[in-house]
Chains A and B, each alone.
Chain A
């Protein structure tokens, strides 16, 4: 009972804090990206963390997180995004004539383009130097980092809507836990000293 009386206020305060943050929903309208840019960003982030039987970047509202990021902590990256999105669309059209933009490409085409973009940026020249010229070299690492944060950071940071990202990785959204935490500490008998014959000192 001592635990309850000591912890309860803190736990309630922490839970309330999380609740308020979760309710401070990301705005329905985009603040930085144009609707078309947002559609492209969502297409890319959904390739980075796709939706399967578990939520992906789309369900976590990563595009809203990025939209907000580009007017706050990542405002310096806006140019990278603008150039990167335009360049990727151009690369899409030249690789797949008739396809207007990355978001309009088929899943396999999108995967191929991102694979190529990744490879191109790993090596200085790359198999397709044209792509790195169209898309600045920091575009993929930047959108990748933002996607990961937007998917997995605590919702207090503005992403991970309804804890979608944490559902996908098996992270319980609770704000406090008590042991046992998992499988291996379930039946732990308590700490005991190593047997005397192995004592070295």
Chain B
């Protein structure tokens, strides 16, 4: 599809410059270019194709081929604002065209009605800034459906009695069940729960020139060599480029949003691969850099006109980070599951999605899935029962016996929004470009740890009911690593308590839009990408409408 590809000069004032090409940026690039606009997408990582992907764990885990490299872009971590942050690899995100959608597990749950109105329903929670969304599930429902059909999601409509209403079934049947799914389903049913096929953004059937999943077993962490994973790279980016109006420009690290005297955005400043700086001019700027890099970019764009950072009159840019709580329980069974084959998880249940606080003593809820997401090497690192010798005869024996017989139950859950949990600029540490490093401040709300403690007990009961020969779980503890980067530029109607309005327009800068995990007001129950893409499709409609009304021109 080289034909029709367009390139722009930085000095060309395009209609939109989009920062980031991941789950949200890919959708906005495709939608806005399809709607007739001239678009440049700046991606800090490389433009890798399917042929560049492999099962090479050294490239993926040690060379950070697809993700942020903490050597080039150090990150600092502290628990509370009173602590001094120390350098620590605490954030992981996709750093290539397609962003985190390239390496993700591809669980694609919709949010439920409750996620949008939880504040009204449960009231104030001490120590948390729980808020209602300015939009509801029904506003987003058409866009959830759009995501399923446009990117390709496998699943079974109506299979979970807890599912929110939907206007259309899934475009294709669920992926096949795995051994872990069968074991989980039987045990969960025995205990009165309602397991169902995991909705996944992985093709169960060929679609739009892409292959169905071949069950190679290198899914989480890896790029899909056959294009079966419904990433932005395999779905949206080719359509955006095919319009002849969208340029994907890789290896461009945006470090500032440029503004004029009137306070409008004029484009973005970026380093190219040789660290030369350019200004890409644009009529409007859309930042989809993820929940860490989007607030960082706003803070890096501070000026005498905007001393606290751009679009930060509320002072909450970077705050309310919600990484989703998570915990893994493990079971070893008598016979081989061979769960290393295939995608990560095939069965899930949502019976705990909406819990009764009076009964369980915590807010929020979660979902449990049955999975195996190890590679052979990562299994040796962290897949064996605690106390197993880690070298010698017994180590090898445990690897030989357990690798094919182990499964995980993953408990996913809510993170409450806490103001001090945040991304900010580190005052001391700089990255390889001389820019202030990302600083993460995080301590789980006690509610979320209480919930995980409860979920963990349920997971262990399921493993028990399933007849696991050996079972154990990771400790419930405060998180120090974030992958789901949510809530850091939250959406709302009030400019004092939110960064963007329901159109994803920043309250402060009329031609600056933000759309990615940072836009979320609540964290859902563990799987945000589906919602990020639904928001992106909706944002594209809103932004198109504003542009067509002439509101984006000065």
Contact = CB atoms under 8 A, between A and B. Distances in A.
Interface of A: 2-3, 6-7, 10-11, 13-14, 17, 47-50, 52, 54, 56, 69, 73-74, 111, 114, 118, 144-145, 148-149, 151-154, 156-158, 165-166, 168-172, 175-179, 181-185, 188, 191, 193-194, 198-201
A185 B339 CA distance: 10
B404 interface: yes
A158 B254 CA distance: 35
B212 interface: yes
B57 A185 contact: no
A200 B194 contact: yes
B217 to A, nearest CB: 7
B56 A188 contact: no
A73 B58 contact: yes
B215 A144 contact: no
Contacts of A166: 376
Given A177-B214, A183-B336, 8 more contacts: A10-B214, A14-B226, A47-B391, A154-B57, A168-B399, A182-B179, A182-B404, A194-B161
Contact of A181 (B159, B174, B183, B339): B339
A11 B182 CA distance: 27
B59 A157 contact: yes
Contact of B337 (A151, A165, A179, A183): A183
Interface of B: 54-59, 62-63, 156, 159, 161-162, 174, 176-183, 185, 189, 192-197, 206, 211-212, 214-218, 225-226, 333, 335-342, 351, 375-377, 379-381, 390-393, 395-396, 399-400, 403-404
Contact of A17 (B54, B192, B215, B351): B54
A177 B206 contact: no
A110 to B, nearest CB: 10
Contact of A52 (B174, B339, B375, B393): B393
Nearest to B376: A152
14 contacts: A49-B391, A50-B392, A52-B396, A148-B380, A154-B218, A170-B404, A171-B376, A171-B403, A172-B338, A182-B178, A183-B336, A183-B337, A191-B185, A201-B161
Contact of A14 (B59, B183, B214): B214
A2 B391 CA distance: 46
Nearest to A73: B62
A179 B162 CA distance: 28
Residue in B192, B197, B214, B335 whose Cβ sees the most chain A Cβ within 10 Å: B214
A120 to B, nearest CB: 14
A191 B197 contact: yes
Contacts of A48: 391-392, 395
Contact of A177 (B159, B212, B342): B342
A138 B179 CA distance: 38
Please name the 4 residue pairs, one residue from A and one from B, whose CB atoms are nearest each other, closest first.
Answer: A183-B335, A176-B214, A182-B338, A154-B55
A154 B56 contact: yes
B206 A2 contact: yes
Contacts of B338: 170, 172, 181-182
A10 B181 contact: no
B216 A73 contact: no
A118 B333 CA distance: 30
B400 A169 contact: yes
B56 A191 contact: no
A175 B466 CA distance: 30
Given A2-B206, A191-B159, A181 B179 contact: yes
B56 A156 contact: yes
A191 B55 contact: no
B212 A6 contact: yes
B176 A149 contact: no
A151 B176 CA distance: 30
A54 B400 contact: yes
